[in-house]
Chain A
Amino acid sequence: MAIRVKLDHLLLDRRVTLTELAERIDITIANLSVLKTNKARAIRFSTLDALCRELNCQPGDLLEWTDEA
């Protein structure tokens, strides 16, 4: 996918585990894992909003476009 989710970097920076984040934004770990491993096909604005709020970042900090096929 050309859009990469940099959730792993942000989690490392903020020293937050996937489980903690899942509890804080009320999303299942399975879904968050799909996002973290770049398997997601789409992300809801509500999810993006919750992630930015909890990780104190901008959408651009979370998403990155790469030239991969």
Chain B
Amino acid sequence: MKRIQRSPVAPVLFAIVNGAWYLVAIVLVLAVVLTLAGARVAIQLGPDGALNIDAAHPNVTMAIPVSVRVDDRALRVAAPGLGIDRAQLDDLQGTLRFPPRWGAFFAANLVFAVCWLGLALWILGVLRSLVGTLRAGRPFAAANASRVRSIGWAVIIGEAVRVSVVYFENRYAATHFSADGLQFLTRLDVSVVAIVYGLIIFALAEVFRAGTRLDEDQSLTV
């Protein structure tokens, strides 16, 4: 396979992706260690042999995404300078932070966070291999098309998982929390942008596949 002129951007990209990979790897290891340590503290065998579960650690807070509707009678929104005396805040999205209670929801969130970091690490690893071939002047290496395609799948599947998790967290908040003047909503918040990104990456994978074929033809042209 013939090498093409090396891109001056590739080493910078490689350094950024490499740095991100190490950063996520460190965070992942910390998350796993803290999760295991937290679980050990939280689950203890009592003197009578019974399982004693307590995750109400004083310094630990949990944050989940929420969607809320504001009661316009409770919160008055106006713009006197514009002559608008009544405006309405529609569905709002934010984060609900609270001291966690050990249970299936808390454990599932910890496992999900670790899986999410693992997925990010895997994507960055694939991206690192891809940028490595760019740095070496072999952008159309045979494995690159499948690397790009797998990143596309990861983006689409990651979005589907994110939507599901946000849905269940919204539902958890709507079931267990209440606030004056606010109504917690349960929403399927699909990001069209993420899906479009996934499709663009699939298209790029096809470009890489065609490029690989052309490169093979070129390398066997005498």
Binding site for B on A (CB under 8 A): 27, 31-32, 34-35, 39-44, 47
Contacts and interface: CB of A to CB of B under 8 A. Distances in A.
Interface of B: 216-217, 220-222
A44 B222 CA distance: 6
Given A41-B220, A42-B217, 16 more contacts: A27-B222, A31-B222, A32-B222, A34-B220, A35-B222, A40-B220, A40-B221, A40-B222, A41-B221, A42-B220, A42-B222, A43-B221, A43-B222, A44-B221, A44-B222, A47-B222
B211 to A, nearest CB: 16
A39 B220 contact: yes
Contacts, number: 23
23 contacts: A27-B222, A31-B222, A32-B222, A34-B220, A34-B222, A35-B222, A39-B220, A40-B220, A40-B221, A40-B222, A41-B216, A41-B217, A41-B220, A41-B221, A42-B217, A42-B220, A42-B221, A42-B222, A43-B221, A43-B222, A44-B221, A44-B222, A47-B222
A47 B222 CA distance: 7
A27 B221 CA distance: 12
A38 B217 CA distance: 14
